Amino acid sequence: MTNTTPVLQLQGITKRFPGVVANDRVTFDVGAGEIHAVVGENGAGKSTLMKIVTGLYPPDEGCIIFKGRPVAFRSPGQAIAAGIGIVHQHFMLVDAFTVAENVILGAEPARLGVIDPKTSVRQVSELCDRFGLKVDPAARVEDISVGEQQRVEILKVLYRGAEVIILDEPTAVLVPQEVEELFEHLMALKGQGKTVIFISHKLDEVLRVADVITVLRQGRVVGTVPAAEVTRERLAEMMVGRPVLFDLKRGPAAPGGVVLSVEGLTSVNGSRAVLDDLSLEVRAGEIYGLAGVEGNGQTELAEAIMGLRPVTGGRVTLLGEDVTNLSTGEVRRRRVAYIPEDRHRRGLVLPMTVWENVILGVHRSPEFSRGGRLLFRSILSSTEEAVRRFDVRLASVLAPAQTLSGGNQQKLILAREFRGDPGFILASQPTRGLDIGATEFVRQELLNARDRGAAVLLISADLEEVLSISDRIGVIYNGHIQAEFGRDEADPRTLGAYMTGARTARREGGSVAS
Amino acid sequence: MLSAEMLASAIRLAVPVIITAVGAIYSERSGVINIGLEGMMIAGCFTGAAVAFYAGPYAGILAAVAAGAFFALIHAVASVHFRVDQIVSGVAINILAYGVVRFSSLSIFKMATTTPHVDCLPKVTIPGLAAVPWLEPLVSKVSPLIFLAFLLIPFTAWVMNRTVFGLRLRSVGEHPLAAETLGVNVYLMKYCGVLISGALAGLSGAYLSIEHTQMYVEGMTQGLGFIALAAMIFGNWMPLGAMWAGLLFGFAQALSLRVVTEAVPYQFIKMVPYILTIVVLAGFVRRSRAPAAVGVPYERGEAA
């Protein structure tokens, strides 16, 4: 299976940034025609390493040998010309252009500067056929799904004749079905003799798709191992540097009274119903996990509950009080914690300091301000305490929130939202993009809150997450709860059938289960 | 009311708006807002008339194009290279052009606000069509720049949609980082877009002074540069749309010149085309779609 001739060799790559060694004598070989995974926690140096390989940064020390010859790319353009292309985690696509235009941009098939659209569409569709990547070359990028957009990125790289294709966290933006398709594409690329470097921190995926795995920790190579000879537990330990608990500490749930009740909720977006007669209940002391493929109303449900989206029908009740269409401020005053799905846009104000973010929304409380004047001593001590309690790693509470890593930003949001012991917690994609350590932390905090008697509504596209910490599980499809399960009745296959709409509307085990 | 004379007058008044608006498309599609069009037109007006006075209309027109491009170069250096806010830089160009022109006029002609009379380009008459009575005002003794303006429309559409240059220009206005990672020279494209817009604004100025009035008069642009920007937006960043918007404005202006009534003071009638522009912009612009990265300065090696 694995070809042993190395196509790409990294030898002693070192890169220093002020105050940190991002890559420390990184050395490993990537065999021709293999799928080589590079795994590590956020901040382990994976992205920096790939930026060095593709010519975005020069290495401080060390050299890269590509096809037996040392290379030093000075721009991504040179790297791709030589045959190394990268698919970024955040796509670099022009939304207003067609698929074909995006693919040919910068390397247009043209005569005297004039492009023949038919030729470019034909070339792109030939490329699609050759690698089994299904996408319509004439469609506009803004009209196609995220999975298809990723295929366009892969096509861009293939169009330029890349032999080594680097994918940076390619599954972070995909739904489970799209991940399956991506893996098929990667296998197809491998079948055509391409070499794939797969950057990830999701161990299950890596173990499924990779031939060889290199683990990075704090900028250093911990080891390069064949995927067949390593377990998930061992990999996690290599990544984190200590054994990782995949089973969180959780006792049996002790559900109390109903805290959140959503009855027949309906909301429209233009002429389309994004929430369609949606009903669910969350009790004190339980975690209700909402599973579903993204775009089926999860975002809208969270917004409707939080007063960010007008509701056209139905009711939202919090502790027996009707809060339908109340303002966000009025909802939040009812001991509600909200972890938004997009922490950059809604969770934090990134350019503002840590302490400003911590008091955001509660800045008017007498603890923090008097007569329009902020009480700094009280704010700072409270911030310090919150930061300590949630183990937020930062240089200073006076630094802007954007200087924190993703995991620490999320912990900062928890520190703000969990103040004052919330009775209801709405957690939307709470661990998206977080590394193992931070994910473990956030999930444990949600469990702890539930044990303190909070009602938790967990909205997550990560089925494994829903299954691992929920007490009850609902599946949302087309803005409607199609089925509910007690935690022991649910299995991924059944959930998957409801998530994709293969099976619909059923209700069972709806009441209390643990 | 809708006579051929009226239509011909509307077209003559629409042409400066159309030429400048088409130029603005090049700049905006590359992601640079060019609010300095008015100043670039003023520069074109004066330079065109002044050079035409000494060297004839052809040289005048070329000089006007160069003058517009020169002020555009200042805008490009400031807003692309030094990432000065594009609005601030554009406003500065407008003030600068006004001052430079007044100073030059005073020092060359000893008159701050006008130049002497200049010759225009030979008028063109289309032989066959001019015989048709109804078409006669539209096709006989017409400035060649009017034909050029209408040729610019399909040409620009073709450049944008069918050429490598157009594709790259648009990519830079939509997603410069994506373009850069594919080897497109983002700065070069933005410079091209801004310079073309300045050159066409200069040409439009030359049309006003050499062809339309046959002399330079201070204030003759009457805010047409801003109207052109509005026409470009109303036309949804497309040449054909800009043309229709320009014609709408020209028609309103032609109409306002012909309405003579005791009931409404003359000044109010003169306002009509401008009010129309505001109403049209407020009513229709919501449906239009700007380049995604317009107005955002691009820094090389940012993010990624």
**Going residue by residue through chain A (514 aa), what tens digit of pLDDT does each one get?**
444 689 999 999 999 987 778 899 999 999 999 999 999 887 788 888 999 999 888 999 999 999 999 999 988 888 988 999 999 888 899 999 999 999 999 889 888 899 998 999 999 999 999 998 889 999 999 888 888 999 999 999 999 999 999 999 888 777 677 888 899 999 999 999 999 999 988 888 899 999 999 999 989 999 999 999 999 889 988 988 877 766 677 778 888 899 999 999 999 887 778 899 999 999 999 999 999 887 889 999 999 999 999 999 999 999 999 999 999 989 998 999 999 988 888 889 999 999 999 998 888 888 899 988 999 999 999 999 988 888 888 888 898 988 887 788 999 999 999 888 899 999 999 988 777 778 888 999 999 999 999 999 999 988 888 988 999 999 999 899 999 999 888 887 788 788 877 777 644 444 433 3
Chain B residue closest in CA terms to A97: B171
Q: State residue B26 phi and psi, 5-degree precision.
A: -60, -45
Question: Do A209 and A309 belong to one domain?
Answer: no
Question: Do A372 and A224 belong to one domain?
Answer: no
Question: Do A152 and A204 belong to one domain?
Answer: yes
Chain A residue closest in CA terms to B175: A94
Domain encompassing residue A377:
342-420
- Does residue B162 fall inside a structural domain? yes
pLDDT tens digit sequence for B81-91:
999 999 999 99
- Does residue B39 fall inside a structural domain? yes
- Does residue B219 fall inside a structural domain? yes
pLDDT tens digit sequence for B227-284:
999 999 989 999 999 999 999 999 988 988 887 777 888 888 888 888 887 887 777 6
Residues of B in contact with A94 (CB under 8 A): 170-171, 174-175, 178-179, 292
Closest to A55 in 3D by CA, of A74, A80, A32? A74
State how far the Cα of A76 lies from the Cα of A82, in Å rounded to an integer: 10
| Tokens representing residue A117 in the block | 């659209």
- Does residue B211 fall inside a structural domain? yes
Domain encompassing residue B43:
15-121+144-229
- In Å, how far is B64's CA from the nearest CA of chain A? 28
Question: Do A402 and A267 belong to one domain?
Answer: no
Q: What is the three-class DSSP state of A285?
A: coil
Q: Is A350 exposed, middle or buried (0-12, 13-18, 19+ CB in 10 A)?
A: middle
- Does residue A328 fall inside a structural domain? yes
Question: Do A306 and A365 belong to one domain?
Answer: no
- Does residue A112 fall inside a structural domain? yes
Residues 101-120 of A with CB under 8 A from B: 101-102, 104-108, 110, 113-115, 117
pLDDT reported for residue A364: 82
- Does residue B91 fall inside a structural domain? yes
- In Å, how far is A51's CA from the nearest CA of chain B? 9
For position A427, which CATH number holds? 3.40.50.300
- In Å, how far is B211's CA from the nearest CA of chain A? 34
Nearest-by-Cβ selection for A105 from B165, B171, B304: B171
State how far the Cα of A285 lies from the Cα of B136, in Å rounded to an integer: 86
- Does residue A246 fall inside a structural domain? no
pLDDT tens digit sequence for B138-175:
888 899 999 999 999 999 999 999 999 999 999 999 99
For B287-301, b/e burial (b = at least 16 CB within 10 A) is eeebbebbeebbeee
- Does residue B274 fall inside a structural domain? no
- Does residue A93 fall inside a structural domain? yes
Q: Count up the domains in chain A and report the number.
A: 3
> For strand A369-370 and strand A220-226, is the pairing parallel, antiparallel, or unpaired?
unpaired
Nearest-by-Cβ selection for A92 from B162, B167, B175: B175
Residues of A in contact with B170 (CB under 8 A): 94, 96-97
Inter-chain CB pairs, A–B, below 8 Å:
69
Q: Count up the domains in chain B and report the number.
A: 1
Residues of A in contact with B169 (CB under 8 A): none
pLDDT reported for residue B129: 79
- CB contact, 8 Å: A97 with chain B? yes
- Does residue A252 fall inside a structural domain? no
- In Å, how far is B182's CA from the nearest CA of chain A? 5
Amino acid sitting at position B117: H
- In Å, how far is A80's CA from the nearest CA of chain B? 9
Contact assignment for B182 to A156 by CB distance below 8 Å: yes
Q: State residue A238 phi and psi, 5-degree precision.
A: -65, -40
| CA A133 remoteness from chain centre | 23
ipTM of the complex: 0.86
- CB contact, 8 Å: A153 with chain B? no
Nearest-by-Cβ selection for A106 from B162, B163, B184: B184
The contacts found for A245-253 with CB under 8 angstroms, 24 or more apart, are A245/A440, A248/A440, A248/A443, A248/A444, A248/A447, A248/A468, A248/A469, A249/A444, A249/A447, A250/A447, A250/A469, A251/A451, A252/A514, A253/A285, A253/A286, A253/A287, A253/A450, A253/A471, A253/A514
B76 against B135, higher pLDDT? B76
pLDDT reported for residue A138: 93
Question: Do A28 and A77 belong to one domain?
Answer: yes
| Tokens representing residue A237 in the block | 């330990």
> For strand A20-31 and strand A6-17, is the pairing parallel, antiparallel, or unpaired?
antiparallel
- In Å, how far is A142's CA from the nearest CA of chain B? 12
| Tokens representing residue A175 in the block | 């739904």
